[in-house]
Amino acid sequence: MDRLVDLLKVQVIRGINLAYRDTRGSDPYVVLRLGKKKLKTSAKKRSVNPIWHEELTLSVTNPNEPIKLEVFDKDTFSRDDPMGDAEIDVAPLMEVLNMDPEEIRNGAIIRSIRPGSKNCLADESHVCWRNGKLVQDIILRLKNVESGEIQLQLQWVTIPGAK
């Protein structure tokens, strides 16, 4: 499976019960890191249940390298406060890339990944075939923080001719 580069669209959907870092809540934003690349969402004012619906696109060259996700509280006059982190394992999505999509019906669950000690899943995650695309819905439980989950959707984009 030698690919030069494929793109992974990460739809950052929402935060759930994020930690309070200020008296009136937090101003959270999400940072994704893969290798040297770093992308971030906008900050949401005074919310511990923010809704982003923002799409960040990463180029993936090594499928074994997890994507690091961090949540921060945006502060104006001091360093932004950490609000937890997690890792996204893209291997389960990559493993189904070579399947023949012609034989898969729309909405079919191709693979299920259960929460465990080796991942940050808060709930079972499914890789599905939806509208001609492989997508994976994920809820990550944040580590190194008192509370918080982040809901994401991963979508693989193969660049034609890049194989």
* pLDDT of amino acid 62: 82
Tell me how far apart the alpha carbons of residues 124 and 138 are, in angstroms, rounded to a whole number.
8
- Domain ranges in the chain are 6-157
* pLDDT of amino acid 38: 96
* pLDDT of amino acid 110: 92
Instruction: Look at residues 9, 21, 77 and name the one whose alpha carbon lies nearest to residue 46.
Output: 21
* pLDDT of amino acid 1: 43
Which residues have C-beta within 8 Å of that of residue 76, sequence separation ≥ 6? none
Using an 8 Å Cβ cutoff, are 27 and 45 in contact?
yes
CATH superfamily, with its number, for domain 6-157: C2 domain (2.60.40.150)
Tell me how far apart the alpha carbons of residues 140 and 138 are, in angstroms, rounded to a whole number.
6
Extract the residue ranges of the chain whose pLDDT is less than 70: 1-5, 159-163
* Longest Cα–Cα distance in the chain: 56
pTM of the model: 0.91
3-state secondary structure of 31: strand
φ, ψ of residue 139 to 5 degrees: the values are -120, 115
Helix residue ranges, H only, 16-65:
none
* pLDDT of amino acid 23: 82
